Amino acid sequence: MTALFNFQSLLLVILLTICTSTYAHYVFPGIMDRNKDNYVVGVFWKCARVGERLSPYVSLACLIMGASKFLGQW
């Protein structure tokens, strides 16, 4: 089943995209800031902004998703 049809998997993909984009922006800020108007890189730039500004909530959501995946296997 793809992530589009499973809501929990879709949320997991979105959270991983936000976390990865935030880390990539931290490591390579010039590349993302230069191309923020580009459609493809612009989406990742916006995800990085969400990750930077809402980092406590994003990390809490990652912990909840990780716990739900872990407890779902038991």
For residues 47 and 18, is the Cβ–Cβ distance under 8 A? yes
Q: Mean of the pLDDT values across residues 65-73?
A: 80
For residues 57 and 19, is the Cβ–Cβ distance under 8 A? no
Is 2 contained in some domain? no
Q: What is the pLDDT of residues 15-49, one digit of tens each?
A: 999 999 999 989 988 888 887 888 888 889 889 99
| Res 4: pLDDT | 66
Nearest CA among 12, 58, 59, 49 for reference residue 29: 49
Is 12 contained in some domain? yes
* CA geometry: angle 20, 22, 26, nearest 5 deg: 115
What gap in Å lies between CA 41 and CA 70, rounded to an integer? 32
Give one word for 2, left, alpha or beta, with left for phi > 0 and alpha for psi -120 to 50: beta
pTM of the model: 0.80
Domain count, the chain: 1
Is 1 contained in some domain? no
| Res 1: pLDDT | 57
**What domain range includes position 35?**
7-72
